[in-house]
Structure 1
């Protein structure tokens, strides 16, 4: 009897490997090119310093210190996970909106409102049992972010107002709201500067190392929930169809208006959870200047991760590692931490310029549904409101 032939296995594997390469090639090339640009920036910075000597090995020294600061020991890895957590949640927020053909540039404002809602509830329940205080504070952050996402979703659905314009304005409003509330009703008495009281028992418990808070676990749960929503539920299918072709979705009986509002609300809730996790797990209080660049970094994370939940985790981990390792890079190599902003911005620039890179490196396209940068310049209801 003749043994079964396995000659077909390589043939079946080749298309799969080719498709995987098509998905990861552009992000990988963008990262490598960004690191190369960063090396040139490091070298050029030496030339403008008084009496500076050109050290051709300085970029390698800087990147080695960056890697050590992010992964050099267990505490460094925990710091990387802490930096990664809000980026995962923010990336899911932006990525989910992308799936529906929406550009949620308002993740920063939703992040801030989520943090404000969480700290307000945390301060009010600072003496309550931890389980109650944490649950209510997280819920307050989620609801505040969802409300801030609901506004542009509603305006988009009802009047066709472009979500990019609306969310940019809401970002500025969120900053003003933070300053007004933290400097007013939530201001800690007896302090010369505007600062809120500590959230007390609403602080997230530490589950890993000395600082690894429970927000890390929440981010993992959020990834699983969003992945299940997008790829295993009717709602997720409708979101993806509306993003791909709203007219076809409408003819199929779907409701683009309602899906726009719901998607932006869920996206806002995820960004709000990111803000709540930061304020309850890291800072434990707020100042008028509170706010990292998490909301804006989330855009790059979503693009680099191809809006796929697993890809977003990988992209967020990369950006989290860059943030976590920046301090040691500055100490050992004397390179300002702002280089990380240069790297992140350059990665985003190369991602947006993907047609140029595809021609330059002869990269083939990917299957429909994996391209995301088109959403930046054209959303499905950019000209008219969905009916």
Structure 2
């Protein structure tokens, strides 16, 4: 998140520090200082930290990928304990535990295996289903994952510049609103109409994200506070529009008219499945963001700013411009997530078009370790939770809220890598000069 320099006026923050930061290695020729004593002549001088928020973002970004996997494992184990604890068969078996302990363990195993088995079948493939839609749950998983991929990329991109974009929800809403205005108020030829909807959605999200980036760059306003407030504004704004300019005249509810067929994403597998061409847009976005961050000059500047804004500024990079452009791109990605929701699955705009996607995107970005492809696979995992959760609730009689608990636990363990390391007794390998 933000460092101390962004709280200064823009003109003052643009001036590099006049005191150079020196680093030296104890024992090196010409450096006879006392090693390990801070402030002693020749001792290593640690660079000034950019603030607790930025440090947190950098620690999240630098975590081991294995920690993400282990965090999911621990969350599933704890979720299994909750499933067993709420199962009537288990509580009954506990009543005579000392008389027949094996019955309790069998009941626990049956409860957990049935629940997670139903979750897996609902998210992937269920041979016992009578319909192809119910049998091939993997396509429902991909449908749920599509907006999560795009919104997760939005949060990931901001992370790489050291910004915490909490405003994906508002950007999704504005993207869907712009896309809807083009999709059900304007008639265009097929193909051109869908393209116009996609562009409008990206512009809407970019405008909403750009506001936060501009305020961050020019005034030092904290992006977390700004984006959270923009979320509230977006919800109220779209609700006002749905009661007035964008309201469906044939409905008493605050909803929009239905999108024109020419403005919607085509279904990839016919009317029996909800999976649509928005998934292709999401996959293309993963490739583009990956190239942007890893192979472009702009991506190099983003990574440099995220690692150390002061060093990037001293090297001649325009940190303020980086904040603005990254939030514009981040907002555009979230806006595209709104487009896939509206033009792909919902087809009608309402005030709850974003649902929980905006906040799930933060979890997806954290689980993906702020890497585009990591975010992609994390989004598929959460799409599987959403698709399989319904199956688990119906076929295993387990509350779908357990899935939300598992997702929340994943966030908890992802944000606390030392806790995961202590559970699995993983030692951190210290690198020479890591603190210099």
TM-score (norm 2): 0.76
Q: Say whether the 8 Å CA contact 2:124–2:138 is kept in structure 1.
A: yes
Describe the superposition over 1:249-285 as per-residue Cα deviations: whole angstroms up to 9, x where unpaired: 0111101000001101111110010011110000111
1:256 alignment partner in structure 2 = 319
Any conservation in 1 of the 2:151–2:337 contact (CA below 8 Å)? Answer: yes
Structure 1 window deviating more from structure 2 (132-141 vs 281-290): it is 281-290
Q: Which has the higher contact order (CA 8 A, sep 6+)?
A: 1
Question: Whose Rg is larger?
Answer: 2
Give the structure 2 partner of residue 3 of structure 1.
none
Task: Report SS of the residue matched to 1:291.
Answer: coil
Aligned partners of 1:149 and 1:265 also within 8 Å: yes
Superposition deviation, residue 140 in structure 1: 0.9
SS at match of 1:192: coil
Alpha-carbon distance in 1 for matches of 2:332, 2:92: 52
The answer to whether structure 1 residue 40 and structure 2 residue 81 are counterparts is yes
Q: Give the superposition deviation at 1:50.
A: 11
Q: Does 1:169 align with 2:229?
A: yes
Query: Does structure 2 conserve the Cα–Cα contact (< 8 Å) formed by 1:144 and 1:272?
Result: yes
Which is helix-richer, 1 or 2? Answer: 1
1:37, CA displacement in angstroms?
Answer: 1.2
Whether 2:280 is the aligned partner of 1:217: answer yes
State the distance in 2 between where 1:159 and 1:365 align.
Answer: 39
1:12 match: none
Shift in CA distance, 49/194, structure 1 to aligned 2, threshold 3 Å: farther
Shift of 1:112: 1.2
Counterpart check, 1:25 vs 2:85? no
User: How far is the alpha carbon of 1:48 from its aligned partner?
Assistant: 12
Instruction: Report whether the alignment pairs 1:358 with 2:399.
Output: no
**Mapping for residues 227-266 of structure 1, pairs under 5 Å:** 227-266=290-329
Shift in Å at residue 191 of structure 1? Answer: 1.4
Residue in 1 that maps onto 2:114: 61
Aligned residues: 346
Structure 2 gaps, min length 5? 1-62, 95-103, 127-134, 432-436
Alignment of 1:338-377 (within 5 A): 338-364=401-427
**Structure 1 regions of 5+ residues with no counterpart?**
1-21, 369-387
1:98 aligns with 2:159: yes
Describe the superposition over 1:112-161 as per-residue Cα deviations: whole angstroms up to 9, x where unpaired: 11111111110122x42121211111111101100110011111111111
How far apart are residue 355 of structure 1 and its match? 2.0
Deviation at 1:75, TM superposition (A): 3.2
Distance 1:39 1:49, change over 3 A: closer
Q: In structure 1, how many angstroms separate the alpha carbons of the residues matched to 2:72 and 2:305? A: 31
Q: Is the 8 A contact 1:46 1:52 kept in 2?
A: no
Determine the structure 1 residue equivalent to 2:350.
287
Decide whether the 8 Å contact of 2:87 with 2:111 is kept in 1: no
RMSD after superposition: 2.2
TM-aligned CA deviation for residue 327 of structure 1: 1.0
